[in-house]
Structure 1
Amino acid sequence: MTDQEALIREAIAAEADETVDARAVLAAVHAKRSRRRPLALLAAAGITVAAVVAAVVVSLPTPPAQTEELEVATPVEPRTVLLAGLDDSGRTDSVVLARVGVDGSVDAVSLPRDSWLDIPGRGMGKLNSAYVAGEVGEPQDLVRAVEAVTGVRVDHYATVDLAAVAAVSAVVGGVEVCLTAPASDEYSGVDLPAGRSTVSGDQALAFLRQRHGLPNSDLDRVVRQQAFLRSLAAKLLDPAVLRDQARVTAVLGALEAGVHTDPGWNLLAFTATLTPNATVDTTTVPHGQATEVEGTYALPLDPTTVRAFVAEFLSDGPRPTNQPGPPSDGCVN
């Protein structure tokens, strides 16, 4: 059992006699860990599992604590985080730039992994080549590339193994997805009928990874990830799940090994800004048609267009009129 699990289990046991302040638990967890943090925001396009988990933990029933409450400053401005989902080989598989407002709302912009852009210090290349865990670059290289093309300063970053998302889906009893047509793919292992299905574990991971056989390849996968994580967020924020502290502990355990954040991220202060019923909005940056560039197929990005679109989407004003994203019924390719 990890120190984190022991602390959470102590809190759950103590609740038989008195209510425990969940933020105090988070403070203890934060004090025990420096670089590997289970409550980091998770990148997989759209909304992040860890943001939801943080909201779950902070939203546990907590009447005034018997001990001195932890002081957490209320943010006076939005915070921007970069979320990178890694495949089983450590390559960047999905990238999301998320803005968390002072009211806890989340606006998330997906950048396709095949985006062709300038990687500062290395020249032009695909976005997913900026960072490969243990092989190429550092997460900061990915951060700098995204900052350069979007014109947005990143306050913090987190990387997550997509397998952790699948583990969380199993903990909550599966996640509902909807397909416009049957899906069967030997590369990802997905095998699902048309219409609505509940997926978890390996089938959830296969659903998130499939790109072969889809009309728009990786672009359809981005939309799938957005739809999946919206559905997972709804499942995690179900009142029955919120009251099931054993399940909350299991979710934290599923995320523990797969989520890594920058060392300067104060998770305790950040989770205090999240709210269970906050609004979540997602989109994808504008891009050109896939074309062959230097021997590989990539999606060209026009930095001027991308910066204007992202600035409008992340502002407090009306959303861009050409905002792409999952359809309203949640059914995707």
Structure 2
Amino acid sequence: MHREPNRPPARRRTRTAARVAVGLVSLLVLVGTGIASTMMTSLLTGLHTSDALDPGGPRSADGALNILLIGLDSRKDQDGNQLPKEILDQLHAGDGTEGGYNTNTLILIHLPAGGGRASAVSIPRDDYVTVKSIPGYTHAKIKEAYGLAKYYAEQGLAKQGVSGAELETKGREAGRKETLDTVRDFLDVPIDRFAEVNLAGFYDLATALGGVEVCLNHPVHDDYSGANFPAGRQTLNGSQALSFVRQRHGLDNGDLDRTHRQQAFLASVTHKLRDAGTFTDLGKLQDLIDTARKDVVVSAGWDILSFAQQARNLTGGNLEFSTLPVQGFEKVNGQEVNKVDVAQVRAAVRTAFGMTAPAPPSPSVRASSTIDVRNATGKNGLAATVAQALAPFGFRTGDLRNLASTTSSVAYGTGATDDASSAAKLLGGLPVSQDTHLPRGHVRITLGTGFALPAALGPHGADSPPGAPSSPPAPPPPPQGGTVDGGGVPCVD
């Protein structure tokens, strides 16, 4: 597997996670307040837009709206220029050489048709997921999809003579498109709109707000992030806010607890915007508008004026945050990643959004191909488990064996195209390709490092086939924590 060129050191990357998300929700709250249309028109005339969201792609039905918030860990402006040193110093972002293009914040907000309580799900940034359009990759951490796609797109564009701001713009469009496609495929729900903000956007918006109140269940002291706060409610300035949302060390569940900090901070921001008279202070309002023009990118064709009424749920505090589940942690090619059960994640999204769950796979759809399973996970018996899980769908068991570490995939021989696609979907959306060396009617399934059997395929564990000797139970998945209520100033760890 390739590695992202110029990938910043891990500690520096993790320090910036979640700093930028407040800008995205602030923008949505801004347009949902019913402020004068002339001022909104002034905002829209200078706002950056993106064509990365496929206009012909799937959309929510019946007037519901799904909005992906993308927080980009970048120390560059929209043209690819390095942020000034004085800004980097205030961001505690190093000298600017550490930053890449990871999406360290991914939140999908669902606004139901006809009003009602809005829901937001946070996608843990280290979830190891399928990617489709990045050369040499079948899987990656979800946060890396943007930067990897941008890098490889720019390699091709540079050979065509594209350079400077145009290269940066087109590279970012490729990164946005890959992120949107990856999230949509992972969660299996439509994305109707998106908004993106970079690292500077968080600082600018937090400064414009003049401090935000937060609440901690316990006192914290962390030398890495600079977080040094007592328990209880307190108001943080811009610099302190950065420390609050970036702390990972010293928290029981690391990044997952930091995600709850991020959610709580967003809830506190919306609370302040609603209750502190921000939108009656023309000076503060103009600061927010100027910041949005400079730091925020939204999907093209978004009629934000019409959207304002629907967004009132955000300003009213009628919003609930949750974090999508992970099964555990492991190392893949030297990187720590989150193991995920795709079926479990999709079910959690549909529950949070009040959507009808998809019907379970039906054995009445019969396949006829023989499956040869290659197990490269290091988990004994997983090849047999997968073969037995697919047997009710008509797949015949062929050759089962173990392999050295590799990535998950499905390949097919002549006459097995449809069965290969069915197997790939049942196993969580694995990439599919033809292999002319396979016998007719055969499908080869490779279970790569990080693969886990989707829960929908049956009750058998992923580590051993039915009937195998019992083994100690697997450790429970890491706690995700409860939901975070967006109606005030929630207390978190």
Same fold (TM over 0.5): yes
1:181 and 1:193 in contact (8 A); partners too: yes
Matched residue type, 1:243: T
1:278/1:155 Cα in 2 relative to 1: closer, same or farther (>3 Å)?
Answer: same
Instruction: Confirm or deny that 1:309 pairs with 2:348.
Output: yes
Q: State the partner residue of 1:242.
A: 279
Q: Secondary structure at the match of 2:354?
A: coil
Q: Name the residue aligned to 1:19.
A: none
Q: Aligned pair 1:156/2:316, yes or no?
A: no
Once the two structures are superposed, residues 1-56 of structure 1 have per-residue CA deviations (whole angstroms, 9 ceiling, x without a partner) of xxxxxxxxxxxxxxxxxxxxxxxxxxxxxxxxxxxxxxxxx972898221111123
1:278 and 1:59, CA in 2 relative to 1: closer, same or farther beyond 3 A?
Answer: farther
TM-score, normalising length: structure 1: 0.73
For 2:110 and 2:124, how far apart are their aligned partners in 1? Answer: 18
Q: Kindly indicate whether residue 295 of structure 2 is the aligned counterpart of residue 258 of structure 1.
A: yes
Which residue of 55, 61, 78 corresponds with 2:32?
A: 55
Given that residues 106 and 278 in structure 1 are in contact (C-alpha distance below 8 angstroms), is that contact kept between their aligned partners in structure 2? no
* CA drift at 1:198: 0.9
Which whole-Å deviations, capped at 9, do the CAs of 1:214-273 have from their partners, x for residues lacking one?
221110110000000101101001162232222211222233322112223332332343
Q: 2:483 corresponds to which residue?
A: 325
Secondary structure of the 2:110 match is strand
Structure 1, gaps ≥5 residues long? 1-41, 63-74
Alignment partner of 1:85 is 2:71: yes
Q: State which drifts further: 162-171 or 143-152.
A: 162-171
Amino acid at match of 1:312: T
Give 1:299's match in structure 2, choosing from 324, 335, 338. Answer: 338
Q: Check if 1:94 corresponds to 2:110.
A: no
**1:274 to partner: Cα distance:** 2.0
Alignment partner, residue 141 of structure 2: 126
Local SS of the residue matching 1:132: helix
Which residue of structure 1 aligns with residue 246 of structure 2?
209
Deviation readout 1:273-312 (Å, 9 max, x if unpaired): 3223261111111111222223211111111111111112
Amino acid of the structure 2 residue aligned with 1:93: N
Distance 1:140 1:312, change over 3 A: same
**Who is 1:112 aligned against?**
124
Contact 2:264 2:489 in 1 (8 A): no
Q: Secondary structure at the match of 1:202?
A: helix
Structure 2 CA distance, aligned partners of 1:207 and 1:323?
18
1:31-46 equivalent positions in 2, closer than 5 A: 44=21
Match of 1:109, as an amino acid?
Answer: V
Whether the 8 Å contact between 1:45 and 1:226 is mirrored in structure 2 is: no
- Inter-partner Cα distance in structure 1 for 2:324 and 2:114: 24
Asked whether the 8 Å contact 1:224–1:326 carries over to 2, the reply is no
Gapped regions of structure 2 (runs ≥ 5): 1-18, 39-60, 76-98, 153-173, 357-479
SS in structure 1 of the partner of residue 147 of structure 2: coil
- TM-score norm. by structure 2 comes to 0.51
User: Aligned letter for 1:50?
Assistant: L
Shift in alpha-carbon separation, 1:215–1:200, aligned structure 2, 3 A: same
Provide the identity percentage.
Answer: 32
Q: For 1:48-106, what per-residue CA distance to the aligned partner results, in whole angstroms no more than 9, with x for missing partners?
A: 221111123x24599xxxxxxxxxxxx95111111111224232111011112334553
Residue type at the aligned position of 1:292:
K
Equivalent pair of 1:43/1:158 in contact (CA under 8 Å) = no
Q: Which structure would you say has the larger Rg?
A: 2
2:446 is matched with none
Compared with structure 1, are the counterparts of its residues 213 and 169 closer, same or farther at alpha carbon in structure 2 (3 Å cutoff)?
same
- Aligned CA RMSD, in angstroms, stands at 2.9
Aligned residues: 275
